[in-house]
Amino acid sequence: MKHILLALIIIVLAVAFSACSVPVNTPPEKDAAEAPPELELYINEEEPSVFLKPGTYEWHIDNGDGTVTGINADAAHPLDVLDELAVVDTTKCVAVEIILDDGMEVTAVNRWDAAAADYDGQQEVDGEVVAADKTVYRLPVEAGWVYDIHVDFGDRGDSFYAFAAK
């Protein structure tokens, strides 16, 4: 009788422990961020000196089950948050470099005169942005301007990043 009772206890414990190790309805692990990464600006070809947080963006998250979750975030216009923007000191540089991973691309750069704070005064500076090898972009900067960079992350989405040059 003791052997039967001992065998039953062992069987019950074995079933209980095996059930604990089997994940039930566990969501798939996400291999990517829930939002675009910060954009790093390099000044004078040194380590990243200025980090820009994503502003307005559209982002896609692969759920791992054949579905995708889309996230749209809207941010204030750069002129509305001028005091909160990252600053590039133009006394130390005349251009910043943006280094992206493969599959990412700077698709537009716009700027506004910070003193005028005129939304309609937007100027495209795409012709001035030099793509060295499709992953390194050189952007000339001038004091008194607010810059807005649009980065396309391919099938992941896109994001805008802004900074002020002083």
Residue 146 falls inside a structural domain = yes
Higher pLDDT, 159 or 6: 159
**pLDDT digits over 92-120, tens only?**
888 898 888 888 888 889 999 988 877 77
Calculate the alpha carbon distances from 148 to 27, 52, 54, 136 in Å.
36, 10, 11, 17
Calculate the alpha carbon distances from 9 to 13, 18, 21, 126 in Å.
6, 14, 19, 74
Residue 102 falls inside a structural domain = yes
Residue 108 falls inside a structural domain = yes
Q: How confident is residue 20, by pLDDT bands cut at 50, 70 and 90?
A: very low
Higher pLDDT, 59 or 1: 59
Does residue 14 surpass a pLDDT of 60? no
What's the one-letter identity of residue 66?
Answer: G
Residue 23 falls inside a structural domain = no
pLDDT of residue 136: 83
d(CA 151, CA 131): 13
Does residue 160 surpass a pLDDT of 50? yes
d(CA 20, CA 63): 25
pLDDT of residue 67: 92
Residue 6 falls inside a structural domain = no
Residue 1 falls inside a structural domain = no
**pLDDT digits over 46-55, tens only?**
777 899 999 9
Q: How confident is residue 133, by pLDDT bands cut at 50, 70 and 90?
A: low
Residue 54 falls inside a structural domain = yes
Greatest Cα pair distance, the chain, in angstroms, is: 93
How many domains does one find in the chain?
1
Calculate the alpha carbon distances from 26 to 7, 30, 31, 32, 62 in Å.
32, 12, 15, 17, 15
pTM across the whole model:
0.74
Residue 8 falls inside a structural domain = no
Tell me the residue length of the chain.
166
Q: Which domain holds residue 155?
A: 28-165
